[in-house]
Structure 1
Amino acid sequence: MTYSSEKFRIHEFTRSFLDGLIASTLKRCGYHIYTIWLFTFSDLKTIIFPSTAFGIINALAIFMEQSSSSPETLTQKYWQLLKTIPMILFWTWINLLPFAINNQRKPDAIQEDLLNKPWRSMPSGRISPEAAKRLMFTTYIFAIITSKILGNALHCLTLIALGFWYNNMRGADRCWVIRNLINAYGFICFASGAIQVAIGKDQAVSHLLGWWYCIIAGIVFSTVQIQDMYDQRGDKIRNRKTLPLVLGDAFSRWTIAVPMLIWCWLAPLLWSSSMSGFVLPVVVGLIITRRTEADDKRTFQLWNMWLVSVYLLPLVKAYENLS
């Protein structure tokens, strides 16, 4: 065997080994990334996308009000906002992730997910409860660091406290009023945090839209029980005191329909909106209030769309002021 052929064989072996190592590493990384992704997949349409939409829409409204006399400045603001969209999505996701892990890692949560969502990371056996706990604490650190850099650490710390109350203190299980209250406060933390990322840390969003947060909190508090309508079997297994299990299915539907119909008209009125501001919230709201038990899961998705239509009101008002 010649020296050159031996060198060639060593080269081929090394290349094959490195290719296999890279492929194996990429496969493992892909597996773990997908495992992490599954923790938050169910909340894309309920938290991540609506909160991001709230941040973008209301930041646009703020920029339009602040730059109404300068089209050039407004254009610059648009480009600035466009660049922040990936960071808004990431901030929302990284703050949701540890909450979702904490919510899904307990034995009773795993049992519930075996019935309703067996594809999730815990019931499918992709990660152990101990590893999930370590991942949760790691992502808490990442969330705090990210929020500190972006200027909304208070939102992050509040979400951590709410998550502890909701999951560890079982605040979501013992009383439907407390459950709705935590949900409402959590929605506002995600939404206002998203705006803070969008407009930058030099402006205080509470001074700009403080009263609007109170309205959104009222809307969520009075209607968020819609998420409990389609999961009554799982909630009963975990002995949660959700509104449909405490007050009954039929009555609970009225507690959703009536507040939604009121907010459909009241929210645009509070913004002194023209008829254009009423159209989308009222139309989507009427569709939702006419849904039946068989439609509950899709109805919750429509509720999130309705909430985004309400989020549009400041932008509609800002556009009317420019016209």
Structure 2
Amino acid sequence: MNATNHQFRLAARPVGMPKREDWKYTSEPVPEPRDGELLVKVLYLSLDPAMRGWMNEGKSYIAPVNLGEVMRAGAAGRVVSSKHPGFAVGDYVIGHFGVQEYALSDGKGVAKVDPKVAPLPVYLGTLGMPGMTAYFGLLDIGKPNPGDTVVVSGAAGAVGTVVGQIAKLKGCRVVGIAGGADKCRYLVEELGFDAAIDYKSEDVKKALKAHCPKGVNVYFDNVGGDILDAVLTQLAMHARIIICGAISQYNATGPMKGPSNYMSLLVNRASMTGMVVFDYAARYGEAAREMAGWMAAGKLKSREDIVQGLETFPDTLLKLFKGENTGKLVLQVAAE
């Protein structure tokens, strides 16, 4: 194939908010697959808060991206050449293909998807890693009961929107915490949340007390920091907290802010549990089938915030940390 593959490679470990100079925009010839390999043309990239953590050195749930490597990212694409028995030219697939136009793969971690069932970007959001995170984090760790009050932070993001909707399907009262009047309106008017708190203009602690008079039974935390501390003051007895992420802390240049109200866990006999979606990989199919059924029945809505152009990657990624996206942030690399 006489084509060029453009890529973003990690050039430096960011300090604070990532900047364009932390990556190097490179190009190389598109490779040909060898026996047992397939070549994927990347159509859409999944942009996720976790990518910020992957850029750091140090122990984590997954090895960091090494300097000089193509930046890790989930993606959806089309097979354009294959010497792999499990994949044919024309198959649509998802996998960790990286921030580039073409990806060579041995097929591990690659799954076929059907764009007739759902548009490709949905497989990066509600039917992808964010949706799996919401499903297993809420249902397996949060264990919501009908009538419970469920609070979710980062509620207008890719994970939070799904958490809230699943909680409603399970008969819970749902309160979302998000930044800005437009996002809060979207949560209540379009997704059916019972209430939304605008952390940019409201006192979160006072608003939680008003909207959760019997306390918080389940808290799905995507942001950490001050909001986690505020929720800790409003826990119901035997509350369950799911620690999914801490986006408010990812770009901190000083010590990470931990919860100062953690004694509330003892007083309320509550639990706080970390959640990594990769632990549930063997059950992804189960979650995808149920959520696809909810979507087909109109019970679960999906929203993608799609930005065009691989070259915009550094700036587009920062939308996550500036709170500028609603729903799943996706970068379109090429036309389908």
Q: Please, what TM-score do these two structures have when normalized by structure 1?
A: 0.27
Q: Please, what TM-score do these two structures have when normalized by structure 2?
A: 0.26
Asked which structure has the greater CA Rg, the reply is 1
Of Structure 1 and Structure 2, the greater strand share is in 2
Q: Which has the higher contact order (CA 8 A, sep 6+)?
A: 1
Of Structure 1 and Structure 2, the greater helix share is in 1
